Amino acid sequence: MTATPVLHYIYDPLCGWCYGAKPLIDAAREILPVVAHGGGMMTGAQRQAVSAQLRDYVMPHDHRIAQYTGQPFGEAYFEGLLRDTTAVFDSAPPTTAVLAAEQLAGRGLELLGRLQSAHYADGRRIADRDVLLAVATEMGLDAEGFRAAYEAISGDVTQAHFKASRALLSRVGGQGFPTVVLEQSGQYQVIDLGPYLGKPEAFAAWLRQRNGVAGADTIVCAPACGLDGCQ
């Protein structure tokens, strides 16, 4: 339990609404500590190879996110990655990479943001280890250190992280990704991001006005991805 306010961010790297909320998380990081919890949305049986059906399913969803939040979705994503039937959408490798960057340099959220842009704007395959290593080194992380941390965290450690993140999500009553929770002195407040999507300055002002004091639970109606995929 801590009197210092902390923002818990329960996310998935392949969640479009999490990408939509990226500017809000960036703004929050300027104000208070933000702790990332990967939820494992597209893991195990929920992993998906890219197909025409998947593309047809996610494109209207992504266009809505772009319109609602102002976040850029690139042609390399729509016409490149979403047509690459050799690609697989798997949340585990990029989440492992985020954990590795956090362990190595305290830069997990920074890498997450870069991976989201790499996926949605640049159409890069962020479930591929070579892409993860490339993005990590592009932001200045030591290649060998990152590779070693990634290997150590892959598998059981990542799965335990998913389990803990899902437990937190259940504890606070969250329904999907992103779920953002303000914690202080043992109190948790789930924040409705809906009014702030596309308005990071307003979200920052709200956080400052709250002064880090967690209050009553909030009924969350913001758009989000479900536990097993976006819809």
CATH value at residue 58: 3.40.30.10
Tally of domains in the chain:
1
pLDDT of residue 225: 73
Q: Is residue 41 part of a domain?
A: yes
Per-position pLDDT tens, the chain of length 231: 557 899 999 999 999 999 999 999 999 999 999 999 999 999 999 999 999 999 999 999 999 999 999 999 999 999 999 999 999 999 999 999 999 999 999 999 999 999 999 999 999 999 999 999 999 999 999 999 999 999 999 999 999 999 999 999 999 999 899 999 999 989 999 999 999 999 999 999 999 988 644 444 444 456 667 666 654
The answer to whether 188 and 215 are in contact (CB under 8 A) is: no
Report how far apart, in Å, the C-alpha atoms of 185 and of each of 37, 53, 66, 181, 215 are. Answer: 20, 47, 36, 13, 11
Does any domain span residue 216?
no
* In a domain? residue 201: yes
Instruction: Tell me whether residue 80 is in a domain.
Output: yes
Q: Is residue 222 part of a domain?
A: no
Amino acid letter, residue 152:
A
Q: Does residue 225 sit within a domain?
A: no
Residue 129, in any domain of the structure: yes
Residue 13 lies in a domain: yes
Radius of gyration for the chain, computed over Cα atoms and rounded to the nearest angstrom: 17
Question: What is the token pair recorded at 227?
Answer: 């536990």
DSSP per-residue string spanning 158-184: HHHHHHHHHHHHHHHT--SBSEEEEEE
Residue 149: domain span:
6-210
Q: What is the pTM of this model?
A: 0.92
Q: Tell me how far apart the alpha carbons of residues 33 and 139 are, in angstroms, rounded to a whole number.
A: 21
- Per the structure block, which two tokens stand in for 184? 């202080």
